[in-house]
Structure 1
Amino acid sequence: MAIRSDRDADLSTSDDSEALLGVSGPETVVGYAGERVRLRRITNRSDEPIDVSIDAPGAPLRDISAPDDIEPEESAWITATLDCPGEKEEVAFTILADGETHRFEVDRDVTVVDPRVSYWNPRLRDDEATIDDWDDCNRPENDGSPVSFVGSRSRDRVFDYLYEKWKKHEREKKIEVGSDDSLNLDGEFTLSVWVLPGNRDGTGDAAGGDYGLGRLFSKWGSDQSEKSYQLFIGSGFDGSEQNTVFIEVGPDSPVNTDSTLDDGWNHVAWCHGSNDRVYINGEMVYEPTSPLPDPQDTQSPLLIGNGPDGDYQFRGALDNPQIHSIALSGDQVKRLYETSQDGSAGTLVPEPSQ
């Protein structure tokens, strides 16, 4: 007997609890090239074991693993390794499930998204340079100078913005990335960075600039038309407590999240989409009642660790500044936080299991 279906879950009945073969899974798979992801979960509700295979076109899916011998009333995942050629691609595939007396053939599709925009890594080159490990077009114009790199027992090499060291040159310390269309985040995005505020022990004030502000990400200019997006730390600004996280989509709309950094290293992520969410160390700490508008396109360079004209310098150390082209889910932010604590870039993708 051969049964075909274009619907998830229900192949022989309208009631999923009685369907002979259950097929479920995400409509969109998000991950990086080389990572294993889950495609579809197969549930066998027939009265005999089934073997599963999949017919797929290849890229961006490779090394597809389909479960063998799924016993009645058991489930298993089809997994694959991503080979992402671009930011987004639609993939159609066919699932085949064979038993002794049953054969199922199911057509499905999935959207594969590689959300990486830029990730600035201080560990792969010498002390005078930093690179964009994801996008060669977005390497800093000044190679990261005059920001230096220091060793951190927990995070390998990091960007050093310590106020004591740069007191005479505080207006200059920054990473500056020239204008590029991929950095004009005029839709969904996520900004993510590890932050060590203040002193080398992670205590003290991270806001070293005018008005008690310390910029983490700043795509901003002095003209109203050049103000795009900012993630920054405030201490006293807008009545904030020390080392409070702010988000802003220009012009002139800073949002106080009323969420402060702990002593030591903190992972901070701002996800912008149908809503705005701010996370510290994998936990959501702020969600406004209505989303902020999308940022406007500008020709302003992106600054990391400072603001325009050097007036809003950050004090402390930063690591793993990243930009993604989607609003990460809470689970993805938590996964990124958990997998980047050792100083690596981390991942969004959970370990697949059968």
Structure 2
Amino acid sequence: MATPIYEFAQLPRVDAREGAVSRSRRQREPGEAPRVGVIYNPRSHRNQGADFDCGISPHVHIAQPGDRSQLPSALAELAEREIDLLVINGGDGTVRDVLTCGAGIFGDHWPAIAVLPKGKTNALTVDLCVPTDWTLQNAIDAMENGNRTIRRPIEISLAGDDASSRVLGFILGAGAFTTATQAGQSAHRLGAFNSMAVAVTVMWGFLQWLFASRANPWRRGARMKIALGSAEAPMEHSGQGDPEWRQLLFATTLESLPAGIRPFGNLCKGLKLVALDQIPRRATMMVPAVLRGKVSKRQRENGIHQVSTPQFTLDIDDQFIFDGEAFPAGKYRIAQGPELEFVTP
């Protein structure tokens, strides 16, 4: 379900159907088994060459869409079956694609969702405290005996476009984050995944910030404008480096991240972002403390900004990364998507 560049023009447009908007969650009879729909991505890292871990059951319906264009019809069929639980078997990119295509199908009445961490990166399941060996049967059992966690994904749309051109996911980054994603692919090839890949990439980026010149892409970042809230108030700049550039942008609605990093300080709920101006080398020494959640009055004057906002506008001249995939330069509206209920252990 991946292409080199995720173009909005190539997205399958899914308009909210009357059935999706008017349908409320099905009420199960006492003792009735839940109806389960599974989106299985055989190309996810931990699914390659593996059969699906579930026996045939009349209550479990498995779809294996070959690419994004087949996702809407697969999800529409599951919606018609009035499933109680939607299981996403794949990594963060698969989650992004399913939520994006499902938004116009389920409307305001999503089923409960469970995620099996089968990708190279599984930041969402880290946040939800889902173990790496979680199975379909574990998820079905948790439907009755587990916990429920509410999360709102990030919703990205082209500025000025209608809401049908939108993508839902959980982690957005730009500037050095784009460079870090490319470095992360190298870490994957070396056998580092999930939190280990994050730790390796963060350490390499820190060394680049500390010793490289301003011409290095890790320190140069990208030309971008960030405007906060519905009033689109320009985000402040410390004056460090070129005011039209930011060294790094990172945003998420998750509340905990792989490798235990806490770049937002005391901010936990909702949409949060951290932005770095083109910080001087001396300020780079503050970055490890920032990643551990430490907050200092000197951070902002040194070009490190931590903000919580319901929405913001990003006008960027370079690619940015959303759940591991590159999106083209442009002007985007970034907000919070619908409240989704995740089944957890």
| TM-score, normalising length: structure 2 | 0.25
Rg (Cα) greater in structure: 1
Q: Give the structure, 1 or 2, with the largest relative contact order (CA under 8 Å, sep 6 or more).
A: 2
Which structure's residues are more often helix, by fraction? 2
TM-score relative to the length of structure 1: 0.24
